[in-house]
């Protein structure tokens, strides 16, 4: 498994009062992978989502323009260009089974304090481990809030780096995946199962963190 080399990155600035964010897209094992950055942080990673839907959703969240990294009419900060290139390199290594942690700076801009709390807990789930929504609620100090935790996990805007695929149903089954991402439930669960298999997790899982 692995992603192909990303399209050549030519980043840039646009007119307007707000500085833009930048995205690049490359084919992955299950379909397109979009990565977006703002300044020196990753703000979105989505699988399967068509480009127009990815851009529209991100512009609503960030309240600023989102521009293709491959747009030849623009020129962008070198920090953002370097970050996108680094993100692609780490994703390719992870999907190729050569990396266990993605050490990318992220920014959960636009998310509520609750979503940030839950997703911070998700990011602490180790490679090759899984937990349930209920156990995750306990891990973040909110026992009994499994349903609310599930909602926050479904709103995760930075897939893989924030490994929401490691949160499963309490019976060891897959549960859900992708939240508002594009695709059928069956297709999204295929991606989730593939990511867990990559990490050596068998479903139904027997050992849950927490």
- Cβ(56)–Cβ(34) below 8 Å: no
Q: Euclidean distance between the first and final Cα of the chain, in Å?
A: 30
Q: Are 36 and 44 in contact (CB under 8 A)?
A: yes
Cβ atoms of 44 and 35 closer than 8 Å: yes
CB neighbours of residue 174 within 10 Å: 19
The catalytically annotated residue of 24, 130, 164, 189 is 164
DSSP assignments along 5-39, one per residue: PPPP------SSSS--EEEEEEE-SSSEEEEEEET
Q: Is 164 designated active site?
A: yes
| Residue positions annotated with a catalytic role | 164
């Amino acid at each position: 498994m692995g992603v192909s080399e990303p399209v050549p990155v030519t980043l840039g600035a646009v007119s307007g009062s707000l500085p833009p964010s930048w995205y690049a897209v490359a084919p992955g094992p299950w379909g397109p992978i979009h990565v977006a950055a703002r300044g020196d942080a990753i703000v979105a990673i989505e699988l399967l989502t068509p480009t127009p839907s990815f851009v529209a959703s991100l512009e609503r969240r960030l309240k600023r323009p989102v521009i293709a990294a491959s747009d030849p009419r623009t020129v962008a900060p070198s920090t953002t260009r370097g970050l996108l290139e680094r993100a692609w390199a780490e994703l390719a290594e992870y999907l190729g089974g050569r990396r266990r942690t993605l050490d990318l700076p992220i920014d959960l801009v636009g998310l509520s304090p609750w979503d940030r709390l839950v997703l911070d807990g998700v990011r602490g789930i180790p490679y090759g481990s899984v937990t349930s929504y209920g156990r995750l609620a306990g891990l973040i100090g909110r026992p009994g809030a499994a349903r609310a935790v599930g909602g926050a996990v479904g709103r995760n805007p930075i897939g893989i780096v924030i490994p929401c695929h490691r949160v499963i149903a309490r019976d060891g089954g897959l549960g859900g995946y992708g939240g508002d991402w594009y695709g059928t439930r069956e297709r999204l669960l295929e991606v989730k199962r593939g990511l867990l298999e990559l990490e050596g997790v068998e479903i139904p899982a027997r050992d849950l963190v927490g």
